[in-house]
Amino acid sequence: MAQFDAYPNPVEELRDSHPYVLAIQSTFLKRPIAIITIALARSAAASKVATTLNPCLEVAGESLILETLAITSFEPSDLRRPVANLQSQAQVIWDALEYALHGY
C-alpha cells in the first residue's frame, strides 16, 4: 500500500458519484489499523470546478475532483487492488491539503 494509491471506493453505494478514494497516509506506519483517504468525485464539469482546495486529478483515464474536505479512513483490508498511483500529482494534492489545513 503506497501513499497516493487510488482504490475503488469501499462504500458501494457511493461508487457512482465517488468511484475512488485516494490513500494519503504516509507509509511510515508498518501495520496501520486505518488508512487516511480522500474521496475522488465525478463531475460533469470537472475542469470548471477545479480549485486549489478541490483540484482535478486523472485516475484511470477519468478526470475526477479531489474532495479534500471529504477525508475519512478505512481499514487496510477495505482497500484492495489500487487502480492507479498519483505520486506524479503529489504537489497538487499537498497544495490542497495545505490549503484545507492552513488556508494558504
Would you state the pLDDT for residue 28?
82
Contact status, residue 41 vs residue 65, Cβ threshold 8 Å: yes
Would you state the pLDDT for residue 103?
84
- For residue 73, give the amino acid letter: S
Would you state the pLDDT for residue 49?
65
Helix (H, G, I), strand (E, B) or coil at 1: coil
Q: Which residue(s) pair with 18 in the sheet?
A: none
| Total tally of structural domains belonging to the chain | 1
Would you state the pLDDT for residue 72?
96
Q: In Å, how far are 13, 30, 42, 57, 80 from 9, measured between CA atoms?
A: 9, 23, 12, 16, 10
Q: Which domain holds residue 40?
A: 5-102
Cell numbers of 13, please? 453505494
Contact status, residue 23 vs residue 5, Cβ threshold 8 Å: yes
Would you state the pLDDT for residue 11?
96
Residues of the chain with pLDDT under 50: none
pTM, two decimals, is 0.90
Could you tell me the CATH number of the domain that includes residue 37?
2.30.30.110
